[in-house]
Amino acid sequence: MPQSYFLSMSAGSWLRRASVHWIKTLSLPWSADPTGTESRSILAWFAIAGELALFIALVYLLRLETDALVRVLLVALAGWCVHYFLPQRYRLPFFVLLSFAAIAAVFANLGPNWHHWRFEGLIDAAWIAAIGLVLIGIVHLPIAFGWRVLALVGAGCGLAAARMDWIATPWTGAAWPVLASMFMFRLIVYAYEMRRDQRMATVSERLAYFFMLPNVCFPLFPVVDFRTFRSSYYNADRHYIYQTGIQWMFRGAVHLICYRVVYQRFVIDAADVHNQIDLLQFIIWPFLLYLKVSGTFHIITGMLRLFGFNLPETHNLYFLSSSFTDFWRRINIYWKDFIMKIVYYPLYFRFRRWGESVAVVSATLLAFLATWLLHNYQWFWLRGTWVFTWNDFLFWMILAVLVTVNALYEMRHGRARRLRGGALSWNGALQTAGRTIGVFVVISLLWSFWSASSVPQWLSVFETVGVEGPSKTTPALVLLTVAAIIGIPALALARGIADRQYSFRRSVASVGVCGLIAVCISLPGVRDRLGETVSTAMADIRAPNLNSRDNANLERGYYENLVNVGAFNPELWVV
C-alpha cells in the first residue's frame, strides 16, 4: 500500500484519540478532586485563565512593575493554557522551555512592540543560559566534592572580576542582575543538596530550579530550597495549587499598591522632621516600604504555583509578629530557612557539646553575622558595588541580640501555644496585642536606623525634634489609624479563627469579582469619572517615578535599592 495511506490512517487515529480526550475533558464537572492531581475541567481552565488575564490587565493598567513583568505574564498565560492539558511527564520540560522563552522575550523586547526588538538582548539571553549551564555542570564534575567547590569558587572569582569591569565581557550590563539572582544563592543550596541527597535529579528539575520563569523580571528573588522545589511539585490537587497561586498573585498586587501609596504620600526626609508627629512618621515609613519585597515575592511564588510547584508562603503576617523570634519566622521565610540550613544547624550541632545555651547563642549570632555578609554579597552581584556601613552592620547585630535573647527565653520558659482553632482569652489577647505593638515599634525603629544614610544622621533627627504643634498630621494619623483599626483586629482574626476549608468555586468567585472591579476602576475612562480624590490616589499608585525625597538625594534603604536595581542600571532599565 502507498505510504500516504498509512499517514492518513495514523492522522485519523490521532484525531479520534484527541477528540475522545477533549470530550472527556469537557464532560468533567467543575470541581477539584481533593485526592487526585490529574482531574481536568474546561470550566476550571477558563476560570483560572480568566483570573490570570485580569491580573495581567491590573498590572498593566496600574504600572505595578516594569514592562518586563507584563511580557513574562503574557508568556505565562499562553504557556499555562497549553500546560494545563499536557500529560504530567511533559509539563516540567515544557516549563523549562517556557522559562527560556521568557528570558528571550524580556531581553530581546519581544512582545506587542516586537518591531523594536533588540538583537543584543538575544545575545545576553544566550550568555545567561550558557554561563548557567557551565556553573551547573561544575557541580556535577566527576571529581571529589571539595575540588568541585574549589572550581565553583574559581568560576565565581572570574565572574566577580568581570562584574567589576576588570574583564571585558561580550554581554551587556543588563545580564548581570538576572544571572546573579539565578545563581548567587541557589547554587549554594544546590551544591549542598547534591552532596547530601543521593536521589538523582532529572535534567528538567535542575534547569527548572535555576531558570525559573519569573526570575528574569525580578532580580531580588526568594531563595527557593531545591529539596522543597522538587518535593512540592504536584503534591496536591492541581486546581488547589493553581488557584492558591492566583490568590497569592493578587495579594502581591495589593501589597504593591499599598507600597506605592506609602512611598508617594508618607515618606518623609530627616530634614523635614520638626515635631513628634513627624518623628513618628519618620520611624514608621521605612518598615512599611518592605511591602514592595513581600508583594513581589507573592507574585513570584504565585506564578510558580501556576505550573505545579506547591511552594509555601514567603511571608506570613510579619507586621503582626508578637516576638522577635516570631518576626524572624514570619518575614522572608525562605531566607530564614536558607540560613538555618546552611549556617545555623551545622554550627548548632557543632557547639552543642558545650551546652544547649552556648549552642543557641553562638549559632544564632553567627547566623546573623552570615546574614549581614551575604546581604553585602547580594548587593555586590545585583548592583556591582560593595557597601559596608555601620548602620547596616549594627542593624543585623542588634536584631541578632534581640532574637537570641528571645530564643533563650522561649527555650527556658516555652513558647506560648494554643490548640488549632482555639480562641485566646481576653487576657491572652491583650497581652499578645501589647507584645505585637511593642515588636512593631522596635522593628520600625531598627528599620528607620537601617535605612538612614548614616548613624549620625539618624541620631540627629531625635536631637532636633521640637515641641511645637503638629505639622503635616494627615499622613501620620492615617498610619496610626491603619495600625489601630486594621492591625490589631487582623491579629485577633489570625489567632482566633480556625483555617477555612478550601473551596475552589468560592475562591474563583471572590478573586474574579474583586479583580474585575479593580480592573474596571483602573481603566482611564472610569477612574477619571470617580472624582478628584480617586483620580489623585490612582495617579499615586500608577506613578513609578521617584518621590520628592528620592528625587532630592537618590538615597534609599537596602531593599529599595535592590528591588529597583533597574533604575540604577540603564541597560537593565531598557529591557
DSSP string, 469-530: PP-SHHHHHHHHHHIIIIIHHHHHHHHHSPPPPP-HHHHHHHHHHHHHHHHHHHSHHHHTTS
Task: Provide the pLDDT for residue 275.
Answer: 77
Q: What is the mean pLDDT of residues 206-230?
A: 95
Q: Which has more pLDDT, 573 or 325?
A: 325
| Backbone angles phi and psi of 233, in degrees to 5 | -70, 115
Q: Three-class SS of residue 309?
A: strand
Task: Provide the pLDDT for residue 1.
Answer: 45
Q: pLDDT tens-digit profile of 131-182?
A: 999 999 999 999 999 999 999 999 999 999 999 999 999 988 889 999 999 9
- Yes or no: say if 471 and 274 are a contact pair by the CB < 8 Å rule: yes
Q: pLDDT tens-digit profile of 290-338?
A: 999 999 999 999 999 999 999 999 999 898 888 899 999 999 999 999 9
Q: What percent of the chain shows pLDDT beyond 70?
A: 75
- The C-alpha cell that represents 48 in the structure block: 483560572
Cell numbers 527560556 correspond to 100
- Yes or no: say if 48 and 250 are a contact pair by the CB < 8 Å rule: no
Q: Which has more pLDDT, 191 or 554?
A: 191
- Yes or no: say if 292 and 310 are a contact pair by the CB < 8 Å rule: no
Q: What percent of the chain shows pLDDT beyond 90?
A: 49
- Yes or no: say if 190 and 225 are a contact pair by the CB < 8 Å rule: no
Q: Helices 67-83 and 88-107: crossing angle, nearest 10°?
A: 160
| Backbone region of residue 379 per phi and psi (left: phi > 0; alpha: psi in -120 to 50; beta: other values) | alpha
| CA distance linking residue 496 with residue 420, whole number of Å | 9
Q: pLDDT tens-digit profile of 78-111?
A: 999 999 999 999 999 999 999 999 999 999 876 5
**Residue 561 reports pLDDT greater than 90:** no
| CA distance linking residue 271 with residue 262, whole number of Å | 18
564 Cβ partners below 8 Å, 6+ apart?
556
What is the overall mean pLDDT for the chain? 81
SS3 annotation, 43-105? HHHHHHHHHHHHHHHHHHHHCCCCHHHHHHHHHHHHHHHHHCCCCHHHHHHHHHHHHHHHHHH
Q: Which has more pLDDT, 219 or 429?
A: 219
Task: Provide the pLDDT for residue 565.
Answer: 52
Check the CA dihedral 32-33-34-35 and report its sign: negative
Model confidence at 526, pLDDT cuts 50, 70, 90, reads: confident
| CA distance linking residue 263 with residue 289, whole number of Å | 7
Q: What is the mean pLDDT of residues 362-389?
A: 92
Q: pLDDT tens-digit profile of 460-510?
A: 888 776 544 444 445 555 555 555 544 555 455 445 544 455 688 888 888
| CA distance linking residue 239 with residue 36, whole number of Å | 10
Q: What is the mean pLDDT of residues 189-210?
A: 88
**Residue 8 reports pLDDT greater than 60:** no
| CA distance linking residue 40 with residue 45, whole number of Å | 8
Q: What is the mean pLDDT of residues 521-525?
A: 81
Model confidence at 428, pLDDT cuts 50, 70, 90, reads: low
Task: Provide the pLDDT for residue 470.
Answer: 47
321 Cβ partners below 8 Å, 6+ apart?
327, 330, 331, 436, 439, 440, 443
Number of Cβ atoms within 10 Å of the Cβ of 466: 12
Q: What is the mean pLDDT of residues 53-57?
A: 96
- Yes or no: say if 246 and 48 are a contact pair by the CB < 8 Å rule: yes
347 Cβ partners below 8 Å, 6+ apart?
359, 362, 363, 366, 367
